[in-house]
Structure 1
Amino acid sequence: MHRIFLFITCFFVAFFTLNNSSVLAQEIVTVRGTVFDGQTMGRLAGANVILEEIERGTTSAEDGQFVFTNVPEGEFTISASFIGYRVSKQTVITRQVKEINLTILLMPTILKGQSIEVTATRATEGESPVTFSNISRDDIEKKYTASDIPMMLDELPGVYAYSLTGDNLGYSFLKVRGFDQSRVGVMINSIPLNDPEDQQVYWVDHPDLAESIQDIQVQRGVGSSIYGTSTFGGSVNINTKNYSSDRYARVYFGGGSFNTQKMLAEFKSGLIENTYGFYGRISRITSDGFRKHSSSDLLSYFLGMERYDRNMVTRLNIFNGHERTHPDWDGVPADILETDRRYKKETYENAVDDFSQPQIHLINDWQINSLFNLTNTFYLVHGQGYYENLKMNNKLADFGMLPFETRDPNLFGADSLDYYETEGDTALYRSADGDYILKRSDLTRQKWVSKNQYGWIGKLTINLPDAVLDLGGSFYHFKSDHHGKVLWAGFLPAVYSPERKYYEYDGQKNNISLYANYLYDIYPKTKLMANMLYEHKTYAFKQHETALFRGAYLNQYEVTYDFYSPRMGVNYKFSDAFNAYGNISYAQREPSDNELFDTWTGPDDLGASPLFAKSDTVRSGGTVQFVRWEDPQVQPESVVDYELGLTYRSPSVVLQVNYYYMDFMNEIVPLGGVNKDGQPIKGNADRTVHSGVEMSATYTPFSFLRLNGNLSWSRNYYKKFTQNNYDPESGGDDLSGNSISGFPDMIGNFRITGLWQDLTGSLFFKYVGKQYLDNTQDETRIIDPFTRVDLMLDYRVKEVGFFPEIRLTFKITNLLDEAYETAGYYDSWAGSAYLYPAANRNYYAGLSLSL
Structure 2
Amino acid sequence: MKNLFAFLALFVLSVSVFSQEKQQDSTKIETLDEVLVKAVRVDATSPITHSNVTKEDIEKRNLGQDIPVLLNYLPSVVTTTDAGAGVGYTGIRVRGVSSQSTNVTINGIPYNDAESLGTFWVNLGDIASSVESLQLQRGVGTSTNGSGAFGASINVLTDAVSDDAYGEISNSFGSFNTRKHTLKFSTGKINDHIEIAGRLSQIKSDGYIDRASSDIKSYYLQAAYVSEKTLLKAITFSGKEVTYQSWNGLEDLEKLENDRTYNTAGEYTDENGNTQFYDNEVDDYQQDHYQLHWNQKIANNWSTNLALNYTQGRGFFEQYKEDEDFSDYGFEELTVNGETVNTTDLIRRRWLDNDYYVVNANANYKDNKLNVIFGGSYSYYEGDHFGEVIWARYATDSEIRDHYYDGVGKKQDLSGFAKATLRFNDNWSLFGDLQVRNVSYETTGISSDLVPFNVDETYTFFNPKAGVTFELNNKNNFYFSFARANREPNRDDFKGNPDIKPEKLNDFELGWRHNNENFRIYANAYYMLYNDQLVLTGELDDVGSAQRDNSGESYRLGLELDAAIKISDMFSINPNVTLSSNKNKEMVADIDGELQNLGTTNISFSPEVVAGNAFVLKPVKGLQMALLSKFVGEQFMSNTDAEKSKLDSYFVTDFNISYELKMNKIFKSIVFTGLANNIFDKEYISNGYYYTYDDTWTDPNQVTTIEGAGYYPQATANFLLGATLKF
Instruction: Note whether the superposition's TM-score is higher than 0.5.
Output: yes
For structure 2, list consecutive stretches of 5 or more residues without a partner in the other structure. Answer: 1-26, 266-276, 694-705
When the two chains are superposed, the root-mean-square deviation of aligned CA atoms in Å is 1.8
Structure 1 position 175, deviation (Å): 0.6
Q: Which residue of 1 aligns with 2:426?
A: 524
Structure 1 position 836 matched with structure 2 position 700: no
2:276 pairs with 1:358: no
Q: Which residue of 2 aligns with 1:712?
A: 578
1:205-227 Cα deviation digits (max 9, x unpaired):
00100000011110000131155
The aligned amino acid for 1:248 is Y
Aligned residue number for residue 198 of structure 2: 280
Match of 1:784 among 648, 660, 664: 648
Cα pair 1:325 1:352 within 8 Å, conserved: yes
Which residue is 2:623 aligned to? 759
2:93 equivalent to 1:217 = no
1:118 aligns with 2:37: yes
- CA distance in 2 between partners of 1:640 and 1:709 (Å): 29
Partners of 1:558 and 1:395 in 2: how far apart? 31
Alpha-carbon separation, structure 2, partners of 1:145 and 1:733: 49
1:245-271 Cα deviation digits (max 9, x unpaired): 432101111101001111111102222
Q: Which moves more between the two structures, 262-271 or 312-321?
A: 262-271
Matched, 1:846 2:722: yes
Distance 1:842 1:576, change over 3 A: same
Deviates further, 242-251 or 385-394: 242-251
Q: Contact (CA 8 Å) 1:223, 1:229: kept in 2 or not?
A: no
Residues 475-484 or 463-472, more deviating = 463-472
The code of the aligned residue for 1:124 comes to D
Q: 2:691 is matched with which residue?
A: 827
Instruction: Work out the CA distance in 2 between the residues paired with 1:291 and 1:555.
Output: 35
| Structure-2 residue corresponding to 1:90 | none
Letter of the structure 2 residue corresponding to residue 845 of structure 1: L
Is the contact between residue 135 and residue 216 of structure 1 (CA under 8 Å) also seen in structure 2? yes
Q: Which has the higher contact order (CA 8 A, sep 6+)?
A: 2
Aligned counterpart, 2:436: 534
The Cα shift of 1:159 comes to 0.9
Task: Tell me what 2:465 maps to.
Answer: 567
User: What residue in structure 1 maps to residue 344 of structure 2?
Assistant: 441
Deviation at 1:524, TM superposition (A): 2.5
Q: 1:154 aligns with which of 72, 89, 106?
A: 72
Counterpart of 2:293, as a letter, is I
Q: Say yes or no: does 1:797 pair with 2:673.
A: no
The 1-side partners of 2:522 and 2:420 are apart by 25
After TM superposition, the structure 1 = structure 2 runs for residues 376-391 of structure 1, keeping only pairs within 5 Å, are: 376-391=306-321
Question: Does the alignment pair 1:768 with 2:614?
Answer: no
Amino acid at match of 2:218: S
CA deviation after TM superposition for structure 1 residue 117, in Å: 2.4
> Post-superposition shift, 1:469?
1.6
Q: Shift of residue 451 of structure 1? A: 0.8
- Greater CA drift, 635-644 or 271-280: 271-280
Q: Residues 391 and 319 from structure 1, CA distance in 2 versus in 1: closer, same or farther, beyond 3 angstroms?
A: same
Code of the aligned partner of 2:715? A
* Aligned with residue 652 of structure 1, among 518, 526, 537: 518
Tell me the residue number matched to 1:746. 609
Q: How far apart in 1 are the matches of 2:346 and 2:256?
A: 28
Closer, same or farther in 2 for the Cα pair 1:290/1:800, shift >3 Å? farther
Which residue is 2:111 aligned to? 193
Distance 1:266 1:823 in 2: 35
Distance 1:202 1:322, change over 3 A: same
> Which of 668, 671, 695 is residue 537 of structure 2 equivalent to?
671
Distance 1:545 1:342 in 2: 33
Q: 2:254 aligns with which of 317, 320, 335?
A: 335
User: Higher mean Cα deviation, 636-645 or 241-250?
Assistant: 241-250
Q: Which residue of 2 aligns with 1:696?
A: 562
Amino acid at match of 2:632: V
Deviation, 1:328, is 1.6
8 Å CA contact 1:244, 1:278 repeated in 2 = no
Distance change >3 Å, CA 545–CA 448, structure 1 → 2: closer
d(CA) in 2 for partners of 1:468 and 1:774?
A: 44
Would the aligned equivalents of 1:488 and 1:499 in 2 still touch at CA under 8 Å? Answer: no
SS in structure 1 at match of 2:255:
helix
In the alignment, is the contact (CA less than 8 A) between 2:440 and 2:458 conserved in 1? yes
TM-score, L = length of structure 1: 0.77
1:751 deviates by 0.4
The answer to whether the Cα contact below 8 Å between 1:117 and 1:313 also exists between their aligned partners in 2 is: no
Cα distance per residue 1:220-239 (max 9 Å; x no partner): 00131155652111110111
8 Å Cα contact 1:254/1:262 also seen in 2: yes
Contact kept? 2:92, 2:98, Cα under 8 Å: yes
Q: 1:272 aligns to what SS in structure 2?
A: coil
Q: Per-residue displacement from partner, 1:534-571 (whole Å, max 9, x unpaired)?
A: 0001011000699x96xxx5443311000001011001
SS in 2 for 1:698: strand
Q: Identify which of 371, 382, 387 aligns with 1:484.
A: 387
Moved more, 656-665 or 335-344: 335-344
Structure 1, unpaired ranges of 5+? 1-106, 408-434, 600-610, 613-632
Deviation at residue 278 of structure 1 after TM alignment: 1.8
**1:338 alignment partner, SS class:** helix
| Contact 1:223-1:230 at 8 Å conserved across structures | no
Structure-1 residue corresponding to 2:21: none
Deviation of 1:114 (Å):
4.8
Say whether residues 1:466 and 2:369 are aligned partners.
yes
* 1:241 aligns to 2:168 (yes or no): no
Aligned-residue offset at 1:120? 4.3
SS where residue 342 of structure 1 aligns? coil
Q: 1:455: how far off?
A: 1.1
Q: Which residue is equivalent to 2:680?
A: 816
Amino acid at match of 2:530: F
Give the letter for the 1:125 counterpart. A
Q: How does 1:89-100 map to 2 (within 5 A)?
A: none
Equivalent residue number for residue 328 of structure 2: 398
Q: Distance in 1 between matches of 2:163 and 2:403?
A: 51
Distance 2:308 2:260 in 1: 46
Partner SS state of residue 556, structure 2: strand
Is residue 226–residue 517 contact of structure 1 (8 Å, CA) maintained in 2?
no
Aligned amino acid, residue 261 of structure 2 = R
Query: 2:83 is matched with which residue?
Result: 165
Match for 2:600: what amino acid?
Answer: G
Q: Deviations over 1:98-130 (max 9, x none)?
A: xxxxxxxxx95558x95442234321122x111
1:563-606 Cα deviation digits (max 9, x unpaired) = 00101100110000000000011110010011001x3xxxxxxx
SS at match of 2:129: helix
- Distance in structure 1 (CA, Å) of the matches to 2:409 and 2:38: 34
Aligned to 2:670, which of 806, 810, 826?
Answer: 806
- Partner SS, residue 389 of structure 1: strand
TM-score w.r.t. the length of structure 2 is 0.90
- Matched with 2:50 is 132
Question: For the residues of structure 2 that align with 1:545 and 1:305, how far apart are their CA atoms?
Answer: 42
Tell me if 1:587 matches 2:485: yes
Q: Distance in 2 between matches of 1:544 and 1:791?
A: 50
Q: Is contact 2:101–2:151 with CA below 8 Å preserved after alignment?
A: yes
SS at match of 1:523: coil
Do structure 1's residue 737 and structure 2's residue 667 form an aligned pair?
A: no
Query: Any residues of structure 2 matched to 1:605-616 within 5 Å, and which?
Result: 611-612=497-498
Mark the CA change 1:555 to 1:337 in structure 2 (over 3 Å): closer, same or farther.
closer
After TM superposition, give the deviation of residue 508 of structure 1 in Å.
0.4
* Compared CA separation, residues 213 and 361, structure 1 to 2 (3 A): same
Contact 2:644–2:709, Cα closer than 8 Å, also in 1: no
Q: 1:291 to 1:109 in 2, by over 3 A?
A: farther
Q: Distance in 1 between matches of 2:128 and 2:387?
A: 33
Preserved contact between residue 415 and residue 437 of structure 2 (Cα < 8 Å)? yes
Q: CA deviation at 1:668?
A: 1.1
Establish whether residue 452 from structure 1 lines up as the match of residue 316 from structure 2: no
Structure 1 contact 188–238 (Cα < 8 Å) conserved: yes
